[in-house]
Amino acid sequence: MLAAGGSLSGRTQLSKGASMVLNGDVVSTGDIVNAGEIYFDNQTTPDAVLSRAVAKGNAPVTFHKLTTSNLTGQGGTINMRVRLDGSNTSDQLVINGGQATGKTWLAFTNVGTVTSGWQPPDRVSGLWMHRMVPPQKKVRLP
């Protein structure tokens, strides 16, 4: 688990089956290569979701940001949280100066509200995404 203000240096490689949990904003000064799972909070890991530990109703949620130079997807998943109450708040993945390549799944979990769906943008930085994403579903960035 990486705490708030954490940093990664050099190349970060997540193999299939591996996971990284962010518990605050994290900056990677190198590249991230992801074949595993990245979670923006320990409340959205599979064990927490199964135990119904995900924030519901109007529970306070602190969103996090992961900043990296480059992201290389190798079929891994980035699990992000989004609040569907019109505040437009969510976890953030920032590619600073580099690019996203390869195949990456984005999984969105609704937290802090009781709404049941979200419509992501049609296109983000040249990457096409599917239109409707119900809570806890995945979209793949081709």
Residue, of 16 and 137, whose pLDDT is higher = 16
Q: What are phi and psi of 111, to 5 degrees?
A: -130, 150
Q: What are the pLDDT digits (tens) for 93-126?
A: 988 888 999 999 988 887 766 555 555 544 444 4
Nearest to 66 by CA among 106, 113, 102: 106
Residue 48's pLDDT is what? 54
Q: Six-digit token pair at 6?
A: 């954490």
Q: Is the pLDDT of residue 44 over 70?
A: no
Provide the whole-model pTM: 0.70
CB–CB of 64/25 below 8 Å? yes
Average pLDDT, stretch 50-54? Answer: 44
- Helices H, strands E: what count in the chain? 1, 14
Residue, of 36 and 134, whose pLDDT is higher = 36
